[in-house]
Structure 1
């Protein structure tokens, strides 16, 4: 059956068709942008200590580890003539995410905000994984790079809007707000309300603008066979699919997992400790430091939007692994320089390198993986790829608190430098990624 499925000829899509199918990523990434920059300051406002931040963020890794591969496996075996294969899942995920974003800034206590983060992450992960598979389903191989780099563009745009809204609303309303322990400033509210609206409206745009490719007769027969099984077997099916897919996973994905171990551990450290860094290096309060970190994200996501599509011809000419590796080195250089720049404007300059790296991280690995995994199992493998993202994040939430306190002296400068070293290691490991050999191995 694999040979029959891989022979399906997919029509070439126009630029605007690829654009429309990725619009929903804008709302998803706006939500992730708030998680990167606004959630940890909210925890600090509600009384969390700095060394608590890693464990408070464990919701993302745990929900991603559980939700994405299960949803991926389920979506592989789903078909609705009206709604399609992947779209029902990211629509439901967007609704959950919207409700959480509307509720988040009204959190009365730390425990409530942490609980909402868990639910928000479930919704975001439910929407994210099918969206990655959705692009691979629709596009022929020659357009995969454009499709995933378009997603990278929307990653930048979504996070850019989130960060921009934080900076804007603090500028407009922040001066009138006095920081009060245990209370979230009113200026933070508006960014979350915008996110709640974007999460659902952008997904609906893609749902109604982009039809899915119907399953082949063989796929449909397998889907109907699964539906006819007893409920217990149907529940167990996704778990069996995940186990089977891991056993048969291409060596290429194991190598990418090694890159991701260091890359995503380092990113989680950066997102958690960039605000405390500015509290230390610039003697800022929480609000000022949160605003500065939002400006950092604003800057690197502007760069991501600009360079995302420019990476397509570069990867075609020089190879995905080379562009990817060099981009990771650029992120390392940015992290090595940030702690030693005391000017709030000059410290934005390294974010150019960070933005190029972020554009590469959000597009190139997905393009490579989509080329080496079987089409009929793309959903479950995209879910497994996300496991490779959240496992390092989970390790970070459990280990970095003690590392920060005892090994790094509770110093945010050392935390950011630590993340830079991990990016160097990730860049070296990325040079081992070879798509052509991986494809030959899978075809054999």
Structure 2
């Protein structure tokens, strides 16, 4: 792609603002969706499989959309922007609808659509940054994305934490078995989803109107026009063929990174699914037996059976503590993403001095320490300490690998290769959704605390494997000052 020039700080910032809205949506998914599933009657062992939407849509949507966007150009709308604008609009509609879910099946279905929309927006956005920036600004550009990743998730979690404090209400009159109280989503959760829907669209529009795309070169335009002349079936199959060819020719760094990513993203998916359930046990003292008893009482309510006042009070208390666990998880997730905002850009000169690989390895070890320590901390404010380490890890994970990969992939195939990087993320997640339900039920005693410790071990393995990543001057070179 010809015509690249050095961009100013504000140009790079404007280009990445849309990531704030996309990540607000992801922040709600990370923190609120699994508790919503629990409010609607899901059990611990159900949670991994109920999250199948994320890895499946990521596996199918991102690389295909990336390959298609490589072959797209509109003088009016550009190459990448139509995709992340459409994804943002569809995702916003899902966010508006999500808290109105009448049952678990409806919420799970919406999650599939929401994930597809977010993935449609995500991959072209990654390629968009690479399209615009010269090599010496790539780390800064992707770390700026990390900053907005953190900002979006901070806002999502701050809204959940504050809205629970401001708008949480006692169980409706008539007790737990009142029709409106059985398996309902708390009203304060609605407001966070509405705010996320508005944020998603407005921030994407900001980047769309503030950042022009670079027109393709004559050679690229010839390839695009040639692709348009092909029969529909060929155009439909070409992205899949392109993905297969690209996988076969992956640079050595990407092959090594895929193994690191397996353990890293498996661990992260465990964290997002089980942080709120862990807090119920480690912080609030709710045992598995308490949860099962509460669920039994709720099932009796749904069946129209008579429930004693004592049982009703017990289940109401578990419901209240579950909301507190969601609020605490939001505070913790907001904290680590706030740390990400602070350290994301600070990592640019540090990575230039010590190398991307070393910073990545240390950050993964920090994430491992965070997950291995948090189950043993029983004060809600002290629990924010490991979030500092996790925030540093998250800042590195969301920026540095993309900067490393961006230097070793062909310019004209940036979209498809960024899609393949996402496949390296979602395949471990897909394996986790299928495998971890039986693991936690049969090996980890159906205990969310053990799940978090399991994830910490996987982070440590990822860090060890990252020490073996290719480290050549062509990949990990020092960058000029902005």
TM-score (norm 1): 0.96
Q: Does the alignment pair 1:398 with 2:392?
A: no
Q: Does the alignment pair 1:90 with 2:84?
A: yes
Aligned to 1:221: 222
Cα contact 1:27–1:158 (8 A) shared by 2: yes
Cα contact 1:177–1:185 (8 A) shared by 2: no
Instruction: Classify the secondary structure of the residue corresponding to 1:349.
Output: helix
C-alpha displacement at 1:31, in angstroms?
0.2
Aligned to 1:243: 244
Cα contact 1:328–1:424 (8 A) shared by 2: yes
Aligned to 1:259: 260
In the superposition, relative to structure 1, how do residues 336 and 439 fare at CA in structure 2: closer, same or farther (>3 Å)? closer
Instruction: Classify the secondary structure of the residue corresponding to 2:185.
Output: coil
Instruction: Classify the secondary structure of the residue corresponding to 2:407.
Output: helix
Aligned to 2:126: 132
Higher Cα radius of gyration = 2
Aligned to 1:307: 343
Instruction: Classify the secondary structure of the residue corresponding to 1:309.
Output: helix
Cα contact 1:152–1:363 (8 A) shared by 2: yes
Aligned to 1:274: 275
C-alpha displacement at 1:283, in angstroms?
2.4
Q: Deviations over 1:384-420 (max 9, x none)?
A: 0000000000000000011001111111111111101
Aligned to 2:299: none
Aligned to 2:410: 374
Aligned to 1:143: 137
Which of 394, 398, 407 in structure 2 is aligned with 1:358?
Answer: 394
Gaps of 5+ in 2: 287-320, 477-482
Which of 400, 404, 413 in structure 1 is aligned with 2:449?
Answer: 413
Q: Does the alignment pair 1:289 with 2:291?
A: no
Q: Deviations over 1:113-140 (max 9, x none)?
A: 0000000000000000000000000000
Cα contact 2:256–2:470 (8 A) shared by 1: no
Q: Deviations over 1:342-388 (max 9, x none)?
A: 11111111100000000000000010111110010000000000000
Which of 100, 113, 132 in structure 2 is aligned with 1:119?
Answer: 113
Separation (CA, whole Å) in 2 of partners of 1:348 and 1:439: 35
Q: Deviations over 1:294-338 (max 9, x none)?
A: 111011011001100000011111111100000010011111110
C-alpha displacement at 1:438, in angstroms?
6.8
Aligned to 2:420: 384
Instruction: Classify the secondary structure of the residue corresponding to 1:308.
Output: helix
Separation (CA, whole Å) in 2 of partners of 1:256 and 1:276: 31
Q: How many pairs are equivalent?
A: 434
Q: Deviations over 1:82-104 (max 9, x none)?
A: 01000010011001100000000
Which of 326, 340, 360 in structure 1 is aligned with 2:362?
Answer: 326
Aligned to 1:66: 60
C-alpha displacement at 1:439, in angstroms?
5.5
TM-score (norm 2): 0.88
Separation (CA, whole Å) in 1 of partners of 2:122 and 2:411: 18
Q: Deviations over 1:408-440 (max 9, x none)?
A: 111111111110100011001111222526759
Aligned to 1:80: 74
In the superposition, relative to structure 1, how do residues 59 and 336 fare at CA in structure 2: closer, same or farther (>3 Å)? same
C-alpha displacement at 1:207, in angstroms?
0.4
Separation (CA, whole Å) in 2 of partners of 1:26 and 1:354: 19
State how 1:98-247 maps to structure 2 within 5 Å. 98-176=92-170, 180-247=181-248
State how 1:422-441 maps to structure 2 within 5 Å. 422-436=458-472
Separation (CA, whole Å) in 1 of partners of 2:270 and 2:474: 31
Separation (CA, whole Å) in 1 of partners of 2:82 and 2:238: 19
Moved more, 66-75 or 275-284: 275-284
Cα contact 1:150–1:308 (8 A) shared by 2: yes
Separation (CA, whole Å) in 2 of partners of 1:230 and 1:415: 50
Which of 21, 39, 43 in structure 2 is aligned with 1:45?
Answer: 39
Separation (CA, whole Å) in 2 of partners of 1:154 and 1:51: 33
Instruction: Classify the secondary structure of the residue corresponding to 1:188.
Output: helix
Separation (CA, whole Å) in 2 of partners of 1:398 and 1:379: 28
Separation (CA, whole Å) in 1 of partners of 2:469 and 2:59: 23
Aligned to 2:20: 26
Cα contact 2:375–2:452 (8 A) shared by 1: yes
Instruction: Classify the secondary structure of the residue corresponding to 1:206.
Output: helix
Separation (CA, whole Å) in 2 of partners of 1:289 and 1:28: 25
